[in-house]
Each structure stands twice: as C-alpha cells, then as structure tokens.
Amino acid sequence: MNGVKKTSCPPMKIEAPTEENNSPPRTSAEKRYEEICTNIRATDEISFKLLGLVPLLSGAAIVTVSKNDVSQGLLWLVSIFGALITFGIFRWELRNIQTCKWLFSCAAEMERNEFGVTSGQFSGAKEGNKAPRLFGWRAGKTEAEWFIYVMTMLSWLALLCVK
C-alpha cells in the first residue's frame, strides 16, 4: 500500500490449553491477528463516527451563528476557530488512516506468512488496490473523508463571506 512501511510480525508461539478451557491450543499469532482485526474495526468505527458528527455539529453551529446577530469580530473568531478545529480533527483522522493501512498490511502479512493463506480478507486484496472512479475522480473511503473534511472547513470559512 502507498506510504505503508513493510513490517514483519514476531514469530509464532504455541500456548498450552488452560485447565478450564480444554480446547486446542491457540497460537499467539492467532491472538495477534484477532487483535489487529479488532483494531482495524475500532479505527473504522472512530472514522465513521467523526464523519457523521463533525459535519453535523459544524452545520448546526454555522446555522446557529448565522441566524443570530453577532458582531463581526465574534463571527471571525467563531469561523476561524471552527475551521481550525475541523482541520485538527482532519489531521488526526489522516493519522488514523495511516494506522489502519499499517494494520491492514500487517494482517495481510500474517495471513500469508504465518497462516499460509493467499486469498484471505487482507492478503486477497490486491496491492495498490484503488478505489473506483466516479466522474473521473477516485471515490473511496479516504477520498470521501478528504471531501467531507475540506467541505466542512470551507463551510466555516464561507460563513465570513455570507454574513
């Protein structure tokens, strides 16, 4: 994947079954793989919550500010503050995307090297798999996040021109 450093996972260890659990022993690789999958779901969940909340709360705040009679100085302050906060959350989200890509590549490596799977949910994805195009533009998760955050920041700044 672009911008993702290749990593190698630590070697696999076998765990003995516990007394209360007589099931076959699980490897530490299986546990690491489950943890990686859990972390991927968590990063996606955070992303989707932010993608819903940031524009919704920003829109509500923009409507509230634009309907009230506020001074030009306060309008500038609120508008710049809203745009900067959105930008800060966006930068954090870009780091979240980077982490998710790294976790994805580590899971794919584990599927191939430790489990011998070549067409798993991660190892089966083609390297450099690109999002589909919509009107000539890439239209995937990352592109949607860019679009939503940039439009939200521009909405905050447009408040200065409208009022």
pLDDT tens figures, 36-80: 999 999 999 999 999 999 999 999 999 999 999 889 999 999 999
pLDDT beyond 80 at 9: no
Three-class secondary structure of residue 138 per DSSP:
strand
Helix (H) or strand (E) holding 67, with range, is: helix 28-67
Question: DSSP code of 27?
Answer: B
Q: Please give the pLDDT value at position 13.
A: 46
Both structure tokens of 133 = 């195009």
- Contact between 43 and 103 under an 8 Å Cβ cutoff? The reply is yes
pTM, entire model? 0.75
Q: Tell me the per-residue pLDDT of 124-162, one tens digit each, with 9 for 90 and over.
A: 876 556 778 888 888 888 888 999 999 999 999 999 998
Q: Tell me the per-residue pLDDT of 90-135, one tens digit each, with 9 for 90 and over.
A: 999 999 999 999 999 999 999 999 888 888 888 887 655 677 888 8
